[in-house]
Every structure is written in C-alpha cells, then in structure tokens.
Structure 1
Amino acid sequence: MSTDALQQHYKVVIIGSGPAGLTAAIYASRANLQPLVIEGVQPGGQLMTTTDIENFPGFAQGVSGPKMMDEFRAQAKRFGAKMIYGEVTGVALSQTPFEVQIDAEKKVFADVLIVASGASAQYLGLASEEKYKGLGVSACATCDGFFFQGKEVFVVGGGDSAFEEAIFLTKFATKVTLIHRRSQFRASQIMVNRAESNEKITFLLDSVIEEVIGNGSHVTGVRVKNVIDGNESNMKCDGIFIAIGHTPNTKIFEGKLNLDSKGYIITNAKSTATSIPGVFACGDVQDNVYRQAVTAAGTGCMAAIDAERYLENLK
C-alpha cells in the first residue's frame, strides 16, 4: 500500500477508505479541494472481505470487493486525492482548523473533516468463522443472499435484524435455520410471527455455533452446542449469516459529536452535517438502516458537496 507524503494542513481530510470515503474523495478532488484520505486499519472497508459484488451498478458481471475498492482508490488518486495508511487515534474539534492525530506520531490539520469510518459487523469470534468469511460466512444477507439459491443456510441472532435476514433469505435458500442462544427473542412479535409462518424457516433455540465446518473453499456445515445440556452435533449447511449487530467506529468522537443511543453519528435531515460545523459524516458510520455499498457511496458524494459549499460560504 503506497503512502503519499504528508503536509501539515489540508482543506479536507477524510477518515475512512470504504465506498463512502473514496466517493467523497473523488468528488472533493474534482472540486479542487485536494483531500487527504486516512485509510484506516482496513483500507477499503468491509468490502475487502466480500468475494463477489453483483448489486453495485456498473459491474454487469459482478466484481470482487477488493477489486472494486482498487478502482475507487485509483479514480480518487487520478483526480489528486492523497492517501495515507494509518489509524486516526484522536481528534480535536473545538476550533478550526480541526486537529487529527494519526497513529502515535503523525498529526494533520483540516478546514473540513469528513468522517467515513464505517461500522464493524459483530462476529462470533471463532477462528473457523474467520477462515470462511466471504466463503460462506457473511454479515449481510442483502449483499450475499443471491449466492445461496437452492441452498441451506443458518442465521445467527435473536433480534429484528436476524429475523429480517432470515425472511429475506427465504427468497433464495430452500431452508433457513435461525439459531439463537436463548429460548426467547429480542425481536418484535410481528417479526417473530412472520418467521414462524414461513415454512422455509426453522428455529434452533438454546444453541450456539461452536465451529464452522468447511472443505477449505466453502462452508459445508456447523458444529452446534446446546447450552442447556451441553450436547453437540454437526449440521449441514452451505452458508452462515451473522446478525448479532454492528458497532459504528465512533469511539474517538464520543463527547465531541452528537451520537445516537447505538453510537452512530447523527446528521441533519437531508444533509451530512453533524453537530459541529465543518464536520460531515457519511456511510455506515451514520447509517444503521441500509448499510449498502451504493448508499454509502451516495452519502459520500453528499458529504463532499456539503463540504465544498461549506468552504465556499466561509469565503
């Protein structure tokens, strides 16, 4: 990963290099704002673990996540965006220019800050799960459900998101098993009723996945443990969808920007503006509803346009 030389002051600094951050970089660069993109610990964001993307316009034959993000990055750099690999470890937003700390030893200042640091899907924490991410293990049914036509899948979770994922997956899969560690669900009763009335959905309660089983190239099953009696069994499946929540990457903004109860950055209606003038947020860091690459890119465009107009008004 190449790293551009740092200067001390930038008109626009963008935190994050997923679809939102890099789209913001493309638009800001074309507006001659010469943005700096701080790529984060996972350049390219969550799409770097996605093997096939078939729902992003412009890629008729589909594209891998890493390939698409390489295209985004090259396009942003073509128009003059600067990239640096590193993690933002602190920000000072009480006055302008804003101060941005990168890792332990670097610091830059920005007239405008665009936050596109995304959200991280919560996983089970199994080594076998990590091995098969993108090879049958997913955290997004909307993104990957199409690949499981005529197959059997598991959905892990007990909230509304898990039920939404399970119901959505019945469009493709022949059987959806919703596994939950408790006997009671957090999901709303209307979602539970919909799932219970769907003949493709079965429930496996008081149970957890202990191991993801595969043949090296894709998932073939799971080892399940009953938390009441401790019994374990192997069950066949072709995919596993983890729906136990997302965590927005906003820890460094706590007490500095207005966040909702789940930690997502609150933006003004029909805008990407935050509670601090000159700070804008886009992508999954402020969107806990859609969480799609195309919607993230759209808000990245909005953030760059909002930033450009803000700087024009300052003049």
Structure 2
Amino acid sequence: MYNCIVLGTGPSGLTAAIYLARANMKPLVIEGPEPGGQLTLTTEVENFPGFPDGIMGPELMDNMRKQAERFGAEFKRGWVTKVDLNAPPFKLLVDGIGELETKSLIISTGASAKLLNIPGEKENIGRGVSTCATCDGFFFRNRKVIIIGGGDSAMEEANFLTKFASEVQIVHRRNELRASKIMQDRARNNPKIKWGLNSTPLEVVAENNRVIGLKVRNNETNQEEIFETDGIFVAIGHKPNTAFLAGQVKTDDTGYIVVEAGTTLTNIPGVFACGDVQDHRYRQAITAAGSGCMAALDCEKYLEGNAVQDWSQTL
C-alpha cells in the first residue's frame, strides 16, 4: 500500500515527486514509455528559470529525477492498463509490475502532440522539426519556417513565429482553414506570412542532420514539389493521455482532465491531476512544474485528513 502513486515523469510528475518525497510521503513514480515526457525530445531549453545559459531537455529531466530519488521517491517502469478509482485504496494494473494499491493518485501523464507520421518527421524532432513555437521559435531568428495546420493554434503560432522568422509559410492540406475568422484575418494581414494551401505534406527533407525542406503534393495538380525551409512546426493539435482512465475521471470534450479552478482536484477525492494532462492552454515546462507542486501539496493535505477546500480558505 502506497501513500501516493504518481503517474508520469515529465516536469509536473517529477516536481510532485520531489515535494511528496521531502514531506516523507514515500511516493511511487510510474514511468511510462517516454520517461521525462516531451522535454526529452527537446534539445536546448532556454526559458526554464535558473539556467541562464540554457540546459538540454534530457539533462533537465534527469536532474529532476535524481532530485526526487535523493529525497526517497521510488521509481518503477511500466504502463498502466487499468485503474479502479471507485473508492480508496485505488487499484492500478501496471503492465510489467502487476496490481498496485494506493491511498492517493496524482495523474501527470501529459499530452502528446499529434504528428503527421510522414517520413523524416520523428527522426528530425529537435533538428528542425518542432511541435511548440513558444518553446523553439527563438532558434529560428531570421530564418524561413513552415507551420503545418489549419486551426486556431496554427494561426496563433504562425503569428508568434513572425517575431523571429524572416518568413512563415502556412501549409494546409485543404483550400479552406478550420481557424476562426478573426484568427484567419490576423494571419492573412501579416506580411511575413505566406500560404501553401491545398498541399498535402509527404516528407520532411533533411541534409546533414538538419531540415532543409518539406515535400508536398499539390492537391489540384497532383504534382509534387519541395518547399525550402529551415524549420517545420507541426500544429495539428495535442491528445491528452487519458484513455487508460476509461471515463472514471471527469474530462472535457477533448479528453483533458477537469480540475477545480485554482487547484489540482479532480471529481474524485484523493485523485489529482497536473501538467499538460489538464492544461491545453499553456503547455510549458514551468507551468507543468508549478502544477506538480500544487498537486503534491493538495495530496499531502488530503492524506493528512484535511479537505483542500477547508485549508485553502485560510490562506
């Protein structure tokens, strides 16, 4: 029987583990198939406070894990296939481990960026392919970049990238965009933004471990061509990793866990959510880490028998 099990080892899960371990709660942290989360796919992180010269994403995650281990957090590798959250103790079936029981649960399984699954895409993540303009836009100052997508997030990221890039080309497989009219208008009125509509991406072209182009098919002429570029940003959405919960925790229409405003409380007492699994807006390492701290404090008060609503009103 564990006091708390933390699912996920991104910035939110590891921060929660650090706080719980320091509080002598002896948490168990379950690592999924991508230990360290999305930051392990990032090269240099320049916007995480405390690292004026930047730090490599995998190194940052490794440091956070070592910090949690130093205070007594236990780590196990496995994949949660089934949960029973009807009443504590909560039960988890973990592939490679078996059944585990815990008094409380912190869900920090993150959200995975949707990819195109075309040749050259995954291999070049961190080498010119990115899924986060806010994270990596700075690295493309005075360069040509491509945004793939047709929704509001794609338009927003395209406008953001014009702060750095010399040219931003929006590539979308249809002739019409899904984005709202106001977001489309902002993009169309930006002189730095060019258009590659009705173009289906076929392959990310790279040379010497660096992206140099995007091969597309013109859907009107059926002809293939290569758009030259220094970077490709895939902006076709994210998918929260909540399928394993089988509807036992309240989520919104897109699968993100719903938490009580200003807390990490889910609709199930003793179950908390932090990081990108409940945040479809910011999706930054620092905001994920902050919510991980909140989850640990909420969880600690729960385990001590204090309702979070009660103690939070005294602050």
Whether TM-score is above 0.5 comes out as yes
Residue from 219, 236, 243 that aligns with 1:227: 219
Partner AA of 1:13 in structure 2: I
What is the SS of the residue equivalent to 1:91?
Answer: strand
* TM-score for both structures, normalised by structure 1: 0.96
Cα-to-partner distance string for 1:50-86 (whole Å, 9 max, x where unaligned): 0110000011111111100000000000000000111
Give the residue type in structure 1 aligned to 2:23.
A
| Partner residue of 1:281 out of 256, 273, 285 | 273
RMSD over aligned CA atoms reads 1.1
Q: Does 1:297 align with 2:275?
A: no
CA distance in structure 1 between the partners assigned to 2:96 and 2:47 by the alignment: 39
Q: Report the Cα offset of residue 100 of structure 1.
A: 1.0
- Which secondary structure does the structure 2 equivalent of 1:233 belong to? strand
Corresponding residue for residue 263 of structure 1: 255
* Inter-partner Cα distance in structure 1 for 2:235 and 2:96: 34
* Whole-angstrom CA distance in 1 between matches of 2:51 and 2:216: 38
**Secondary structure of 1:313 counterpart:** coil
In structure 2, the partner of 1:138 is 130
Of 236, 240, 250 in structure 1, the residue corresponding to residue 242 of structure 2 is 250
Alpha-carbon distance in 2 for matches of 1:251, 1:228: 38
User: Contact between 2:79 and 2:96, CA under 8 Å: does it hold in 1?
Assistant: no
Structure 2 residues without counterparts, runs of 5 or longer: 308-315
Task: List aligned pairs for 1:45-194, cutoff 5 A.
Answer: 45-103=37-95, 105-194=97-186
Moved over 4 A (4+): none
Which amino acid is 1:132 matched to?
N
List alignment gaps of at least 5 residues for structure 1.
Answer: 1-8
Equivalence for 1:36 = 28
Q: Distance in 1 between matches of 2:75 and 2:219?
A: 47
Displacement of 1:313: 1.5
Deviation at residue 207 of structure 1 after TM alignment: 0.4
User: Partners of 1:199 and 1:147 in 2: how far apart?
Assistant: 21
Offset, 1:224: 1.4
Shift of 1:254: 3.0
TM, length-normalised to structure 2: 0.96
Percent identical among aligned pairs is: 53
1:118 maps to a residue whose letter is: G
Match of 1:313 in 2: 305
Residues 89 and 104 of structure 1 are in contact (CA less than 8 Å); yes or no, is this contact kept in structure 2?
A: no
Question: Quick one: which amino acid aligns to residue 241 of structure 1?
Answer: F
What SS is found at the alignment partner of 2:3? strand
